[in-house]
Amino acid sequence: MSYLLHIEWVDVNGETGSSSAWVASTDDGLTVAKAFKAASNARITSAELRETVPLQTITNNTASNNNVETAKTKAKIKMRGADAGSLASPFAYVTVGIPAPIGTLINGVVGDTSNTDANDLASHVLSPSGVQMSSIEKIYYGS
């Protein structure tokens, strides 16, 4: 199995950047991150390993001209999940962007929060702290 190592950087002037490289194992992720750092004056602000997803198993995975939207136009889906472990807030939130959204997801100023595809997405998304999303708070246009 291979992983994509994605590293975010900031330099002494506050300029940011990112670098990515494929690695053969999770152990190699740290080794490569250290090698990147050894070759740079910038500070690593985050590094993560991404696992590949078998895209060939997604049916109808082609761009469609049924939309007037472009990939630069994004529908934002704000999701919510109960966070029983937090004393500060009873809910955790996650917002994801969907490029070139389909018309049934959003058409006008706000989208349909009962949209089956959006709710299916929410049922599989976790917050950074591991809270399972359970509902759609709102759907709107954003960048």
pLDDT digits (tens, 9 = 90+) for 28-39: 889 988 988 888
CB 135 within 8 A of CB 116: no
- The whole-number average pLDDT for the span 107-121 is 83
Residue 4 burial (C-beta neighbours within 10 Å; 0-12, 13-18, 19+): middle
Report residue 47's pLDDT band, with 50, 70 and 90 as the boundaries.
Answer: very high
Together in a domain, 79 and 48: no
Question: By residue range, what is the domain housing residue 125?
Answer: 74-142
Q: What is the DSSP letter of 26?
A: H
> What are the strands of the beta sheet with 3-10, ordered from one edge?
16-23, 3-10, 43-51
Q: Is residue 134 part of a domain?
A: yes
Together in a domain, 89 and 120: yes
- Say what the pLDDT of residue 22 is: 83
Q: Is residue 63 part of a domain?
A: no
| Total domains present in the chain | 2
Together in a domain, 78 and 136: yes
Q: Is residue 48 part of a domain?
A: yes
Residue 118 burial (C-beta neighbours within 10 Å; 0-12, 13-18, 19+): buried
Q: Is residue 68 part of a domain?
A: no
Position 143 pLDDT exceeds 80: no
Q: Of all residues in the chain, what percent carry a pLDDT higher than 90? A: 20
CB 118 within 8 A of CB 105: yes
Q: Is residue 79 part of a domain?
A: yes
CB 19 within 8 A of CB 48: no
Together in a domain, 83 and 127: yes
